[in-house]
Amino acid sequence: MSNDLLQRGKNIKLAIFDVDGVLTDGRLYFLEDGSEFKTFNTLDGQGIKMLMAAGVQTAIISGRKTPVVERRAKNLGIPHLYQGREDKLVVLDELLGQLNLSYEQVAYLGDDLPDLPVIRRVGLGMAVANAASFVREHAHGITVARGGEGAAREFCELILRAQGRLDAANGAYL
């Protein structure tokens, strides 16, 4: 993990996640009745809970809208959920106004072009390993794990480590 990423992670007060391709593997599953389902990684969920326990606020911004994401956010206790919002930078500005935070205090994990303006604007903008190449090129860092396969947990642990809340030697949460 680079010193630059750790330095960027020190002052993070808000971590924002995209959903499709970040908290999920990016596949869309539709049932005969038109409903959809998604699979989420429990490691990612635990990482998000660890961030919140450390005092870092969390949010989800997704271009799609589905009850499954609402349920997942509620189960994890994520207080800020924005769905069906394609212009994620506008949402970011709304959220920063609400929480009285600056761009430098925000970390964002994304995977595709709608995430790029936010990734480029925030203090710690990261892409998952299987993100679109253009997004990876402009991110501050790239996770080793793929979206839906522990990338969010890796992102959370980076922030916790940067803030002295995760012991790098043994992985213990402090």
18 is in an annotated binding site: yes
Q: Distance between CA atoms of 143 and 125, rounded to whole angstroms?
A: 11
Dist CA 160 CA 67 (whole Å): 30
Report the alpha-carbon distance of residue 174 to residue 172 in Å, rounded. Answer: 6
Nearest CA to 111 out of 101, 94, 125, 98 is that of: 125
Q: Under a CB-based contact definition with an 8 Å cutoff, are residues 126 and 144 in contact?
A: no
Q: Binding site annotation covers 167?
A: no
141 to 120, 125, 156: CA distances (angstroms): 11, 7, 13
Q: b/e per residue, 27-39, with b = 16+ CB within 10 A? A: eeeeeeeeeeebe
Q: Could you tell me which residues are annotated as the binding site for Mg(2+)?
A: 18, 111
Q: Could you tell me which residues are annotated as the binding site for substrate?
A: 20
